[in-house]
């Protein structure tokens, strides 16, 4: 049982090192962090429903997961093909496209959930 617990603790350590690596090395991760934080603050301020929270958490996690997968793909491709190769470029480009798709979907979901109450607030405040 002790070995099991030690290995689980070590697994968390590996995961947090990976997370820190992404934050340290990927400029887009800082954009994701800023937007994720802004969305969470807006959702708290607007007091959205539990269902809307669940949806936002899923799409935020989807974007972060795509960014993490893309970073891991880039690292493995760089290891396997240090020289520039057309297929290495395809792998990296497709990974980046996955992040773009996830981020685009998250923007749409965010607008659908946060847009109407924000628009109501703007109308009530300024008109």
The residues annotated as belonging to the active site are 67
One DSSP character per residue, 29-63 reads HHHHHHHHHHHHHHHHHHT--HHHHHHHHHHHHHH
Task: Give yes or no for a contact between 102 and 70, defined as CB atoms under 8 angstroms apart.
Answer: no
66 Cβ contact partners less than 8 Å away, ≥ 6 residues apart: 98, 99, 101, 102, 103
């Amino acid at each position: 049982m002790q070995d099991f617990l030690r290995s689980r603790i070590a697994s968390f350590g590996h995961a947090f090192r990976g997370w820190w690596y992404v934050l340290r090395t990927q400029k887009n991760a800082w954009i994701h962090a800023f937007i994720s934080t802004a969305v969470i603050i807006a959702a708290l301020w607007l007091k959205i429903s539990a269902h809307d929270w669940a949806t936002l958490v899923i799409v935020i996690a989807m974007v972060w997961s795509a960014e993490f997968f893309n970073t891991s793909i880039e690292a493995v491709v760089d290891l396997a093909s240090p020289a520039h190769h057309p297929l290495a470029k395809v792998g990296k480009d497709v990974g980046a496209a996955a992040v773009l798709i996830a981020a685009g979907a998250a923007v749409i979901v965010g607008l659908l959930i946060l847009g109407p109450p924000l628009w109501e607030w703007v109308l009530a405040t300024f008109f």
